[in-house]
Protein backbone atom coordinates (compact mmCIF):
# COMPACT_ATOMS: atom_id res chain seq x y z
CA UNK A 1 0.00 0.00 0.00
CA UNK A 2 2.83 2.38 0.95
CA UNK A 3 4.64 1.60 -2.30
CA UNK A 4 1.48 2.37 -4.30
CA UNK A 5 1.14 5.75 -2.56
CA UNK A 6 4.81 6.51 -3.24
CA UNK A 7 4.38 5.59 -6.92
CA UNK A 8 1.34 7.86 -7.22
CA UNK A 9 3.20 10.72 -5.56
CA UNK A 10 6.16 10.24 -7.94
CA UNK A 11 3.84 10.19 -10.94
CA UNK A 12 2.12 13.38 -9.77
CA UNK A 13 5.47 15.10 -9.36
CA UNK A 14 6.71 13.79 -12.71
CA UNK A 15 3.65 15.01 -14.61
CA UNK A 16 3.92 18.48 -13.05
CA UNK A 17 7.71 18.71 -13.37
CA UNK A 18 8.89 21.81 -15.27
CA UNK A 19 11.69 19.94 -17.06
CA UNK A 20 9.39 17.07 -18.07
CA UNK A 21 7.02 19.58 -19.68
CA UNK A 22 9.91 21.43 -21.29
CA UNK A 23 11.35 18.19 -22.71
CA UNK A 24 8.04 17.44 -24.41
CA UNK A 25 7.94 20.97 -25.79
CA UNK A 26 11.53 20.89 -27.06
CA UNK A 27 11.35 17.34 -28.40
CA UNK A 28 13.84 15.75 -26.02
CA UNK A 29 13.34 12.14 -24.97
CA UNK A 30 13.78 12.89 -21.27
CA UNK A 31 14.29 15.74 -18.81
CA UNK A 32 17.93 14.62 -18.43
CA UNK A 33 18.71 16.66 -21.56
CA UNK A 34 18.67 19.83 -19.46
CA UNK A 35 21.32 18.50 -17.08
CA UNK A 36 23.76 18.14 -19.96
CA UNK A 37 22.66 21.38 -21.63
CA UNK A 38 23.36 23.38 -18.48
CA UNK A 39 26.77 21.81 -17.87
CA UNK A 40 27.77 22.01 -21.53
CA UNK A 41 26.85 25.69 -21.72
CA UNK A 42 28.50 26.61 -18.43
CA UNK A 43 31.75 24.79 -19.23
CA UNK A 44 31.74 25.19 -23.02
CA UNK A 45 31.88 21.44 -23.34
CA UNK A 46 30.46 20.76 -26.81
CA UNK A 47 31.84 22.08 -30.07
CA UNK A 48 31.25 21.32 -33.77
CA UNK A 49 33.26 18.40 -35.14
CA UNK A 50 33.85 16.66 -31.80
CA UNK A 51 33.92 12.88 -31.36
CA UNK A 52 31.81 11.94 -28.34
CA UNK A 53 31.09 8.63 -26.59
CA UNK A 54 27.79 8.56 -24.67
CA UNK A 55 27.63 5.77 -22.05
CA UNK A 56 24.27 4.84 -20.54
CA UNK A 57 22.58 6.65 -23.39
CA UNK A 58 19.01 5.30 -23.39
CA UNK A 59 16.47 6.82 -23.97
CA UNK A 60 18.75 9.15 -25.90
CA UNK A 61 18.29 12.72 -24.64
CA UNK A 62 22.02 13.27 -24.05
CA UNK A 63 22.78 11.93 -27.53
CA UNK A 64 20.18 14.33 -28.92
CA UNK A 65 21.93 17.26 -27.27
CA UNK A 66 25.39 16.13 -28.36
CA UNK A 67 24.49 15.40 -31.98
CA UNK A 68 22.87 18.83 -32.35
CA UNK A 69 26.03 20.51 -31.03
CA UNK A 70 28.77 18.53 -32.79
CA UNK A 71 26.97 18.67 -36.13
CA UNK A 72 27.48 16.66 -39.30
CA UNK A 73 31.27 16.81 -39.04
CA UNK A 74 31.18 15.37 -35.53
CA UNK A 75 30.57 11.81 -34.41
CA UNK A 76 28.41 10.40 -31.60
CA UNK A 77 28.68 6.79 -30.46
CA UNK A 78 26.08 5.84 -27.86
CA UNK A 79 25.95 2.68 -25.76
CA UNK A 80 23.40 1.21 -23.38
CA UNK A 81 22.33 -2.18 -22.10
CA UNK A 82 18.75 -1.23 -23.04
CA UNK A 83 17.41 -0.71 -26.55
CA UNK A 84 17.36 2.84 -27.89
CA UNK A 85 15.27 4.12 -30.77
CA UNK A 86 17.44 5.40 -33.64
CA UNK A 87 18.60 9.01 -33.70
CA UNK A 88 19.98 10.87 -36.73
CA UNK A 89 23.75 11.17 -36.60
CA UNK A 90 24.11 8.75 -33.67
CA UNK A 91 25.66 5.27 -33.84
CA UNK A 92 24.13 3.03 -31.18
CA UNK A 93 25.57 -0.09 -29.55
CA UNK A 94 23.29 -2.21 -27.38
CA UNK A 95 25.55 -4.00 -24.91
CA UNK A 96 26.48 -4.12 -21.24
CA UNK A 97 29.41 -1.77 -20.58
CA UNK A 98 30.57 -4.09 -17.81
CA UNK A 99 31.30 -6.71 -20.48
CA UNK A 100 34.45 -6.79 -22.60
CA UNK A 101 32.34 -7.13 -25.75
CA UNK A 102 30.95 -3.60 -25.26
CA UNK A 103 34.40 -2.03 -24.96
CA UNK A 104 35.68 -3.95 -27.96
CA UNK A 105 32.75 -2.74 -30.07
CA UNK A 106 33.37 0.85 -28.97
CA UNK A 107 37.02 0.49 -29.97
CA UNK A 108 35.95 -0.92 -33.34
CA UNK A 109 33.60 2.00 -34.00
CA UNK A 110 36.23 4.54 -33.00
CA UNK A 111 38.91 2.97 -35.16
CA UNK A 112 42.10 5.04 -35.03
CA UNK A 113 40.23 8.08 -33.72
CA UNK A 114 40.26 9.16 -30.10
CA UNK A 115 37.18 10.77 -28.56
CA UNK A 116 37.28 14.40 -27.47
CA UNK A 117 34.69 13.75 -24.79
CA UNK A 118 33.25 10.79 -22.90
CA UNK A 119 29.95 11.33 -21.07
CA UNK A 120 28.38 8.82 -18.72
CA UNK A 121 24.90 8.98 -17.23
CA UNK A 122 25.01 5.27 -16.34
CA UNK A 123 23.17 4.09 -13.24
CA UNK A 124 22.52 0.58 -11.92
CA UNK A 125 19.11 -0.95 -11.38
CA UNK A 126 18.16 0.39 -7.95
CA UNK A 127 17.50 -2.26 -5.32
CA UNK A 128 16.77 0.10 -2.45
CA UNK A 129 19.74 -1.21 -0.49
CA UNK A 130 21.78 2.00 -0.25
CA UNK A 131 25.23 0.48 0.28
CA UNK A 132 24.77 -2.01 -2.54
CA UNK A 133 23.34 0.57 -4.95
CA UNK A 134 26.18 3.00 -4.18
CA UNK A 135 28.81 0.31 -4.80
CA UNK A 136 27.23 -0.66 -8.15
CA UNK A 137 26.99 2.97 -9.22
CA UNK A 138 30.62 3.66 -8.31
CA UNK A 139 31.72 0.54 -10.19
CA UNK A 140 30.12 1.90 -13.36
CA UNK A 141 31.79 5.27 -12.82
CA UNK A 142 35.16 3.54 -12.33
CA UNK A 143 34.72 1.62 -15.59
CA UNK A 144 33.82 4.83 -17.44
CA UNK A 145 36.86 6.59 -15.98
CA UNK A 146 39.17 3.71 -16.95
CA UNK A 147 37.81 3.78 -20.51
CA UNK A 148 38.29 7.54 -20.68
CA UNK A 149 41.85 7.44 -19.42
CA UNK A 150 42.73 4.83 -22.03
CA UNK A 151 40.90 6.25 -25.03
CA UNK A 152 40.45 10.01 -24.68
CA UNK A 153 42.96 12.04 -26.60
CA UNK A 154 45.34 14.26 -24.67
CA UNK A 155 43.42 17.24 -23.24
CA UNK A 156 40.05 15.47 -23.71
CA UNK A 157 37.20 15.72 -21.18
CA UNK A 158 35.07 13.33 -19.14
CA UNK A 159 31.65 13.92 -17.56
CA UNK A 160 30.23 11.28 -15.22
CA UNK A 161 27.24 10.88 -12.92
CA UNK A 162 28.08 9.80 -9.39
CA UNK A 163 26.21 9.60 -6.11
CA UNK A 164 27.45 11.09 -2.86
CA UNK A 165 28.32 8.38 -0.40
CA UNK A 166 30.84 5.61 0.10
CA UNK A 167 33.96 5.91 -2.11
CA UNK A 168 32.93 9.30 -3.55
CA UNK A 169 36.00 11.10 -2.14
CA UNK A 170 38.32 8.38 -3.38
CA UNK A 171 36.83 8.54 -6.87
CA UNK A 172 37.17 12.31 -6.88
CA UNK A 173 40.87 11.94 -6.02
CA UNK A 174 41.31 9.45 -8.87
CA UNK A 175 39.78 11.90 -11.33
CA UNK A 176 42.05 14.67 -10.09
CA UNK A 177 45.11 12.55 -10.83
CA UNK A 178 43.94 12.05 -14.42
CA UNK A 179 42.67 15.52 -15.37
CA UNK A 180 44.05 19.05 -15.13
CA UNK A 181 40.79 20.36 -13.67
CA UNK A 182 37.90 18.53 -11.99
CA UNK A 183 34.65 20.32 -11.17
CA UNK A 184 31.57 19.19 -9.27
CA UNK A 185 28.28 20.10 -10.93
CA UNK A 186 24.68 19.89 -9.66
CA UNK A 187 22.48 21.11 -12.54
CA UNK A 188 19.05 22.60 -11.86
CA UNK A 189 17.34 19.65 -13.56
CA UNK A 190 18.85 17.32 -10.96
CA UNK A 191 16.24 16.98 -8.23
CA UNK A 192 17.23 18.47 -4.87
CA UNK A 193 16.45 15.29 -2.96
CA UNK A 194 18.70 13.22 -5.24
CA UNK A 195 22.27 12.58 -4.09
CA UNK A 196 23.45 12.56 -7.71
CA UNK A 197 26.25 14.86 -8.75
CA UNK A 198 28.20 15.21 -11.97
CA UNK A 199 31.97 15.27 -12.00
CA UNK A 200 33.61 16.98 -14.96
CA UNK A 201 37.25 16.32 -15.73
CA UNK A 202 38.76 18.75 -18.22
CA UNK A 203 42.13 18.29 -19.87
CA UNK A 204 43.24 14.67 -19.67
CA UNK A 205 46.82 14.62 -18.45
Q: Mind telling me the catalytic residues?
A: 161
> How crowded is residue 169: how many other Cβ atoms within 10 Å of its Cβ?
10
Please classify residue 18 by burial: count the beta carbons closer than 10 Å to its beta carbon, then call 0-12 exposed, 13-18 middle and 19+ buried. Answer: exposed
End-to-end CA distance of the chain: 52
Strand 179-185 and strand 51-55: the pairing is unpaired
Q: How far apart are CA 17 and CA 183, in angstroms?
A: 27
Q: How far apart are CA 113 and CA 66, in angstroms?
A: 18
Strand 75-80 and strand 51-55: the pairing is parallel
What are the CA-CA distances from residue 38 to residues 21, 35, 45 (Å)? Answer: 17, 5, 10
29 close to 67: Cβ distance less than 8 angstroms:
no
Helix and strand numbers (H, E) in the chain are 7, 7
For 151, the 3-state DSSP assignment is: helix
Amino acid sequence: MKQAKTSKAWMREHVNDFFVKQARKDGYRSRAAYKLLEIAEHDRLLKPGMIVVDLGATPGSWSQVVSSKVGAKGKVIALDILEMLPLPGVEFIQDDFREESAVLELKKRLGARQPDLVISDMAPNISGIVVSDQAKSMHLAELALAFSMEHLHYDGSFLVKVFQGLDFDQFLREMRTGFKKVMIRKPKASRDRSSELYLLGIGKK
